[in-house]
Structure 1
Amino acid sequence: MPFSVDEIAEHPHFLGALRDYSSSLRQQFDGAPRLSRMMASHQRWLLSQAALALDLEYDPSQPSSGLTTTNLREIVTTTSAASRNTVLNFLDQLLSYKFVRIAGDPYRRPKRYEATDISLAAMFQWLVTNLRLLDSLDGGGRVSQLLAKPELFRLIQPQIAHRTCHCPAWREPPNRVAHFLWTEAGGLVMDEMVRRATDLNSELDGYPIGRVDARSLSEQFMISRTHLQRLLRKAVDLGCLAYVDDAKSGFVLKRAFLEEYCHWQAIKFAVVDFAFEAICGPVRLSLREPQRNTLREA
């Protein structure tokens, strides 16, 4: 059986695995920053996943299938994930950055798009990174299975996309998580904070993450320093972060907020595990059972 949300969120090794996951995403961002920023807000994440799923599900015998403006709009507007204009702007950006190209006759209507190699490679690596986290929780061999048969990616990714887009708990993050994830590059900021959250300080009821250099980080993430500073100040007001002292020499990532974020992330990982098992079958029980016994009852 695939992991449940509670099993992942309550796993004693999940936070450490999520730190490693966040570090891996940061490395991927450094390797392809413009492409990574296309998934750095939750709305763009949903749009990216839905767009690729439509492309991978294209059926030549069904001319109206595939990644078209109409098909993408149908998925995201019916779930209130984005507006019609947002869909149009998103596809225009993908096309201008050469993350997609027009397939076939450019004058054909409806115009169909297809992902370029750089987009396919990036999403494949994203799936590997997600499966690696799941493997670290139960000793499973999901990554090795995928690498042995990379064509399975084309079946797994659409399952993930459709299930996450139609899952209200994932599509609509809790308010404090949404404060970061619905903003430009907010996902990158969250990854950076989780990556730094290594030691729990009981007196501070959180994880000291050090000083955030707004100038340096805003340049790295290609956002305005004012936007980042406003994001962090509001996070303090919401109880996501706290200052270490009055001198504001550093931040503490509050334990309750991090637990909230972990539970929300667990929803996505449970979907990934379900999709993998639906396509590839269960991981070896001989590897999973000893690890599963360490979980608390949900």
Structure 2
Amino acid sequence: MIGTQSSAIDTTKVSVSSEVDLFAANPALFPVLQQGARHMIELYDHFPRIARLVAAQQKWLLTQAAYALHLQRDPADPLSGITAARLLDVIAATNLASRNTATAFLAELRAYKLIRDVTGSPSKRSRPLEPTETSHEAMTLWFRGQLRSLDLIDQGDRVARLESNPDIFRFAQPLAAKRLIADKAWREPPVSISCFVWTEYGGLILDDFISRIANIEPEDGCYWVDDLRFSELSSHYSLSRTHVRRLFARAEAQGSLGWQDRNGNRNRIWATASFVEDYKRWQSVKFCALEWAYNEAVRSIAQGAF
């Protein structure tokens, strides 16, 4: 199990890969992932515009990078914080996005009023940006939900500590974002997962699908989802049926899932055990990064380094 600060795995002695393997093997993980997927659906229902915008892996990573820049902004330096140039510096080493993509993404955030100009900036060429209140609320609720998932796995008290000291979020989010952006295992998930999350809005559909799986352990080598209808997904997430159908067709073509057609039941879907294992391990990469960042934040605050 991944513990609280006092019992966390010592990553100086255990490789990150081994740490992830241990986390993914935890029998408590999958039910918590399903709960986390339901939390993401709740966030979508509360922040549909933001959720749709970041429901693809590239934009999710860009969002985390931009928010980290905001939290690391130096009030004494009016040009620090979120700018297109600084965002590019963060992602340059990973080839995550081109200059045009990063610039277009920031323009999209501005158009949706999710970021705004920092008041009082002396530069007209490189105007720093900051998240709006809606963006801040969405990010803090997402972070709290991730810590709640960690707490459910090991009965920890991270959320309680976060609520008593919000500086944990301010310190930990940039650390987690930096580690996840640098980690190819998170940035480039297995093909079974990337066929969803590297597609526009695919993260929404993947969360929904995971939340519907009925059996915690595989039955006859499969996990089952009953009564899934494209029309329902299309309506809930304001997506075309064609787009939803295309996402599932890609996964079916890879052999990750398929439909049971016994007695004409085309609404019952099976997913392979390997697909779920891929998902569990990919999510474990994220949780290990968040656990490490949380512990670093708690340690630094206790030492007065923040």
TM-score (normalizing by structure 1): 0.89
Partner of 2:22: 7
Partner of 1:72: 87
The structural deviation recorded for 1:242 is 1.6
Partner of 2:111: 96
AA in 2 matched with 1:90:
F
Cα offsets for 1:190-228 (capped at 9, x unmatched): 11111011214523x212112332223123223222111
Partner of 1:291: none
The structural deviation recorded for 1:156 is 0.9
Q: Tell whether the 8 Å contact from 1:25 to 1:191 is kept in structure 2 after alignment.
A: yes
Determine whether 1:87 maps to 2:102.
Answer: yes
AA in 1 matched with 2:106:
L
Percent identity reads 35
CA distance in 1, matches of 2:222, 2:77: 53
Q: Tell whether the 8 Å contact from 1:243 to 1:252 is kept in structure 2 after alignment.
A: yes
Partner of 1:166: 182
Report the secondary structure of 2:251's partner residue: helix
Partner of 1:261: 279
The structural deviation recorded for 1:110 is 0.8
Q: Tell whether the 8 Å contact from 1:239 to 1:257 is kept in structure 2 after alignment.
A: no
Report the secondary structure of 2:126's partner residue: coil
Determine whether 1:272 maps to 2:258.
Answer: no
AA in 2 matched with 1:96:
A
CA distance in 1, matches of 2:294, 2:267: 44
AA in 2 matched with 1:2:
A
TM-score (normalizing by structure 2): 0.87
Unmatched 5+ stretches in structure 2: 1-6, 10-18, 301-306
Determine whether 1:23 maps to 2:38.
Answer: yes
Candidates 202, 226, 229, aligned match of 1:210: 226
Which one is further off, 76-85 or 266-275? 76-85
CA distance in 2, matches of 1:198, 1:8: 22
The structural deviation recorded for 1:41 is 0.9
Which protein, 1 or 2, shows the higher relative CO under an 8 Å CA cutoff with sep ≥ 6?
1
Report the secondary structure of 2:150's partner residue: helix
AA in 2 matched with 1:52:
Y
The 5 A counterparts of 1:94-243 are 94-105=109-120, 108-199=124-215, 200=217, 202-203=219-220, 205-243=221-259
Which one is further off, 240-249 or 150-159? 240-249
CA distance in 1, matches of 2:241, 2:295: 43
Q: Tell whether the 8 Å contact from 1:131 to 1:142 is kept in structure 2 after alignment.
A: yes
Which one is further off, 205-214 or 52-61? 205-214
Q: Tell whether the 8 Å contact from 2:229 to 2:267 is kept in structure 1 after alignment.
A: no
Determine whether 1:252 maps to 2:270.
Answer: yes
Report the secondary structure of 2:223's partner residue: strand
CA distance in 2, matches of 1:84, 1:238: 32
AA in 2 matched with 1:44:
K
Cα offsets for 1:110-157 (capped at 9, x unmatched): 111001111111111111111111111111110000011113211111
CA distance in 2, matches of 1:236, 1:165: 29
Report the secondary structure of 2:293's partner residue: helix
The CA RMSD over aligned residues, in Å, is 1.7
Determine whether 1:56 maps to 2:71.
Answer: yes
Q: Tell whether the 8 Å contact from 2:78 to 2:128 is kept in structure 1 after alignment.
A: no
The structural deviation recorded for 1:267 is 0.2
Which one is further off, 105-114 or 26-35? 105-114
Unmatched 5+ stretches in structure 1: 283-298
AA in 2 matched with 1:155:
F
Partner of 2:303: none
CA distance in 1, matches of 2:8, 2:105: 33
